[in-house]
Amino acid sequence: MTATVEGPDFIALQVKDVPAAAAFFEERLGLRRAPASPPGAVVFTTSPVPFAVREPLPGVDLDGAARPGLGVALWLRASDASAVREQLVRAGTEEVSPLQDSPFGPMFSFTGPEGYRLTVHGG
């Protein structure tokens, strides 16, 4: 029998300023920190896949990137995408798109810490 991959099991964004990025996800999206995180990272108690922000790995030059994560789609599930969108707008979050319908429920995108483009859906 061949070995197979079951799917994503951990997602981390590499950022230059871990405390600021962690604060963004806590304060604007309501994520909660896990009880323990490795050095140079903050892990959140997201489900079903753990999510973190971490220092760049050796050889990663975020200063040279036009937009970090370009080409990667990162969608975050919410109980109420419309309410999350309003929270982000009130907090002055950059480039929050209008709410629109999708096969996964209402969705919108916004620019998060250090220029990552993120999408929220659900509700």
Q: How many helices (H) and strands (E) does the chain have?
A: 2, 6
pLDDT digits (tens, 9 = 90+) for 100-116: 999 999 999 999 999 99
- DSSP of 23-38: HHHHHHH---B-S---
User: Does 3 or 1 have the greater pLDDT score?
Assistant: 3
In whole angstroms, what is the distance from residue 116 CA to residue 21 CA?
11
DSSP 104: T
pLDDT digits (tens, 9 = 90+) for 82-96: 999 999 999 999 999
Q: Residue 43 corresponds to which amino acid?
A: V
Question: Is the pTM for the entire model greater than 0.85?
Answer: yes
